[in-house]
Each structure stands twice: as structure tokens, then as C-alpha cells.
């Protein structure tokens, strides 16, 4: 197979910090260029599930994650090159502040020489806006700066002040006004899923119109994306060939990387979805994936939906391999206590209970090493688990090498708070769904 080389306009949207408005700006930009007849592919930096739901609705295309540690540089390069060959514009939304994290959004921008624009919340700022902008610009060499974007400006005069304070080397690409119609609701794990926002299309259209006369309406500079030979599907063949994997898919279980689905398909699996929230029984399958999501927001309904619970319990007791990640883990416990103090019976397949907490109990990149393979991913949750189940192993935190989330193995159930990126350890993933993981 030949190497891939493609050239395409691209822009990374970074920010001075979280909460500056880069998600809305990226989605609005995707909608603006889509309305102009362009095919737009959006990526999200880091291990994020929620922002991508907005970008998918804005662009009309599935969204992929990019992370130099979780995916590795080769796979990031391959994803970008493949997208460049099939799209008119690539948009990459950063994570947190531009230089935050290891790897950071700036690391990704430097690696692929992506044109870069930073969003800065201009509310309450005049000349200090330029100080922040030039501070971001000068903090690190080797970045391909395209300009800055002002968010939440108060008036035309405010925009003039911001423009006058910037040097010509760092142009103001656009300015979005303070507008209640552009506010996106949040909850404890981030933005609300796009599927729950009835007015989202109207919001995106409004934001796109506000950008229509800005420099962002023009295509950014093109980038040459070169990837080596395509990543091998998997050296071990198709270990999931002939297997049907059921996936819980609804608002309670929605934290699913598109790349994970594609990994399972490359490994030979057929995927079938079902909804515990709709009380659908488990479909005929050879394995079950219960991904993360928000079971705590739907605990009463999940607790009362006996067809789903009973079918999963019966299958698990018969030895069906199950992978339960974060929210999926909560669903398999004896009970789940919600933020209001109510406690709801769950599936009762894993001894223990979880209780929601007001603050994050874990957040960050982690990896799991088992059977000579390393599955990379991340953890972020507000619940606290109380169980006497002995861990099979512990993840290791990327930040400091300390022990992280425990991995539980009970019968053919593998459960943890870890959200894994399957392509980092395909054989380990295949072993889990084939029921061949030792434990």
C-alpha cells in the first residue's frame, strides 16, 4: 500500500483557557463553511466525547479525536491525511488552554504545522486583550499563527479597541458579540449532548451568520499532510470474526469514540445497538459493550426498566463477555446513589454501590498494561465506588506514574472507570470481548 499525501486548508482553534468559547466558535465555523457548500471534517483534541456531538451536528460528519499520547503521532497523522484527501476544510478544536496538558493543543499544532487561531473571551478587556494575545503568540516558537478571535465583545467600539491594540503580525480574525442566544448549557462532565439541545441548529445558524463577514469565512492556508503506509488492520488477523457485539447506545450510554467502533469492525465484529433507556432487551449477541455516559441522570428509569436489566443479568450469568466502562460500570453495580441522595437498584452483577459526588473524583489520561499490551485512555467521573471486589490490576496515571483506576474482573465481566482507546491495544480488546482475558 502506498503512502498518503494530501493537501487541504486547515485551522486549529485554541484558546486562552477553558470556557473561552472555542467549542461554539469551532461548531459555528463548521456550519458556516458547510452552508457555503464545503465538506468539513472536524477533529477534537484530547479524550472528549461531548464537544464532538455539537461538531457532528454542525458539520454533518462524524468527528474524530486527536491526541499524541492516546493515539500516537502515526495514527494522528493518518487520520489527518485521510481527512485532507476527502474534504475541503479541516477544523481541529483544542482542549483546555492552548499550552495546557501533556501533550497540549500546541504540541499537536506544532507537530503538524497547523494554522492556529486562539479564542479569547474579551468581556471586560480592552488593551489587555492584546497583552493576552501576544503572550500566547510569544510563549513558544514553532507555531504557525493565523490570528486571534474575540468572543463576547460588547459593541463595535469594543471591537475597534481590540483591533487597535493588536500588532499587524497577529490579526483579529473575527469577533462574536455577547448574545444569550449563543450560550451552550453545561453539566458536571462538560457540555450537554447535542441530542438534548432542541435549539442547537438555530444557535449554530445564528453564530454562523455572525461570522459570515469575518476573515474566518475565507479558507485558511492549506497544509500538506503526509502519512506513512496505512496502519495495519491488525497483525493477529480478525480475532472477532463471526462475533456480534451489542452496544448500549442512548443518552445514558453515549461516550463512544467513533474510532473504537471502527476498530471492532476491523477486528471482524458485527455491531448492533440497543437502548436500556428504552427498556429494549439485549439483542442476540456474543458480547456486550456498556460504554460510559450519564446513567446517574437516568437512574430511576434504568432501575425500572426490567426487560433490559433482566436480559443483561441473564446473559452475564450465562457467561456473556461484557466490557463496562465508567457509566457502564455504574449500571452493573448493586445500586447507584444520585446527586439528590436517592439510591436506585441497578443490575446487581457487580458487588458494590456508587454515589455521586459534587466534585471530580478522577480526571486525566491513564493506561492499563495486561498480557504484554497497553491500553491507553482516560478517566473522568464524579462518582465514588464502594466495593469489596478485588482488582485484577490498576491503571497508571500519565501525569505522575501513580496507580490509577482499578480494573475489575468478575466472571466474564471486565469493568473499570477507564475509557479505553481500542486501537492502542486491539488484541487486549479482542481478548476481552472473546472472554479470553485472564482473571
Q: Name the residues annotated as catalytic.
A: 326
Q: In the 8-state DSSP scheme, what is residue 326?
A: T
Classified as helix, coil or strand, 185 is coil
Q: Hey, is 120 helix, strand or coil?
A: strand
How many alpha carbons fall within 13 Å on the CB side of residue 384?
Answer: 8
Q: Residue 356, SS3?
A: strand
Burial class, 141, CB count within 10 angstroms (exposed 0-12 / middle 13-18 / buried 19+)? exposed
What is the SS3 assignment for 177? strand
Total Cβ atoms within 10 A of residue 73? 14
- Characterise 268 by phi-psi region: left (phi > 0), alpha (psi -120 to 50), beta (else): left
CA 291 to chain centre: 13
| CA dist list (Å): 23 to 4, 30, 118, 119, 220 | 30, 11, 12, 10, 18
User: Residues 383, 393: contact at Cβ < 8 Å?
Assistant: no
> Exposure pattern of 153-187 as b/e (b: 16+ CB <10 Å)?
beeeebbebbeebbeeebebbbbbbeeeebebeee
Ordered strands of the 333-337 beta sheet: 343-345, 333-337, 350-356, 383-386
Smallest Cα–Cα separation from 193: which of 248, 255, 249? Answer: 255
Could you give the CA distance from residue 162 to residue 66 in angstroms, rounded to a whole number? 32
Amino acid at each position: 500500500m502506498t503512502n498518503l499525501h494530501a493537501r487541504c486548508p486547515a485551522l486549529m482553534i485554541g484558546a486562552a483557557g477553558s470556557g473561552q468559547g472555542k467549542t461554539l466558535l469551532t461548531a459555528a465555523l463548521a456550519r458556516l463553511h458547510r452552508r457555503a457548500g464545503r465538506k468539513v471534517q472536524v477533529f477534537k483534541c484530547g479524550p472528549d466525547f461531548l464537544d464532538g456531538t455539537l461538531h457532528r451536528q454542525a458539520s454533518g460528519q462524524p468527528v474524530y479525536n486527536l491526541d499524541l499520547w492516546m493515539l500516537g503521532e502515526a495514527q494522528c497523522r493518518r487520520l489527518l491525511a485521510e481527512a485532507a484527501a476527502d474534504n475541503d476544510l479541516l477544523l481541529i478544536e483544542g482542549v483546555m488552554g492552548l499550552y495546557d496538558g501533556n501533550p497540549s493543543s500546541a504540541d499537536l499544532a506544532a507537530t503538524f504545522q497547523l494554522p492556529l487561531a486562539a479564542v479569547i473571551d474579551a468581556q471586560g478587556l480592552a488593551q489587555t486583550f492584546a497583552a493576552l494575545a501576544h503572550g500566547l503568540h510569544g510563549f513558544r516558537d514553532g507555531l504557525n499563527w493565523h490570528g486571534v478571535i474575540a468572543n463576547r465583545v460588547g459593541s463595535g467600539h469594543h471591537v475597534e479597541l481590540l483591533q487597535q491594540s493588536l500588532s499587524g503580525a497577529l490579526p483579529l480574525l473575527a469577533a462574536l458579540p455577547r448574545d444569550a442566544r449563543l450560550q451552550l448549557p453545561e453539566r458536571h462532565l462538560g457540555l450537554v449532548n447535542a441530542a438534548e439541545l432542541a435549539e442547537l441548529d438555530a444557535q449554530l445558524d445564528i453564530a454562523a451568520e455572525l461570522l459570515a463577514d469575518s476573515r474566518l469565512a475565507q479558507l485558511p492556508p492549506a497544509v500538506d499532510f503526509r502519512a506513512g503506509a496505512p496502519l495495519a488492520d491488525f497483525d493477529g488477523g480478525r480475532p472477532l470474526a463471526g462475533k456480534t457485539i451489542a452496544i448500549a447506545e442512548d443518552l445514558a450510554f453515549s461516550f463512544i469514540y467513533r474510532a473504537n467502533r471502527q476498530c471492532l469492525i476491523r477486528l471482524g465484529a458485527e455491531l448492533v445497538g440497543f437502548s436500556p433507556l428504552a427498556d429494549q432487551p439485549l439483542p442476540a449477541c456474543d458480547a456486550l459493550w456498556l460504554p460510559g455516559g450519564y446513567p446517574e441522570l437516568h437512574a430511576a428509569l434504568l432501575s425500572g426498566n426490567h426487560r433490559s436489566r433482566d436480559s443483561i443479568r441473564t446473559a452475564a450469568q450465562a457467561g456473556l463477555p461484557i466490557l463496562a466502562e465508567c457509566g457502564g460500570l455504574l449500571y452493573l453495580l448493586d445500586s447507584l446513589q444520585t446527586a439528590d441522595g436517592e439510591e436506585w437498584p441497578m443490575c446487581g452483577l457487580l458487588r458494590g454501590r456508587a454515589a455521586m459526588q459534587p466534585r471530580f473524583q478522577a480526571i486525566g489520561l491513564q493506561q492499563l498494561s495486561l498480557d504484554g499490551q497497553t491500553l491507553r485512555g482516560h478517566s473522568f467521573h464524579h462518582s465514588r465506588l464502594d466495593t469489596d471486589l478485588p482488582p485484577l490490576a490498576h491503571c497508571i496515571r500519565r501525569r505522575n506514574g501513580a496507580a490509577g483506576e482499578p480494573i475489575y474482573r468478575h466472571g466474564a465481566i471486565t469493568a473499570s472507570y477507564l475509557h479505553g482507546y481500542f486501537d492502542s491495544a486491539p488484541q487486549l480488546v479482542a481478548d476481552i470481548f472473546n472472554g479470553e482475558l485472564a482473571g
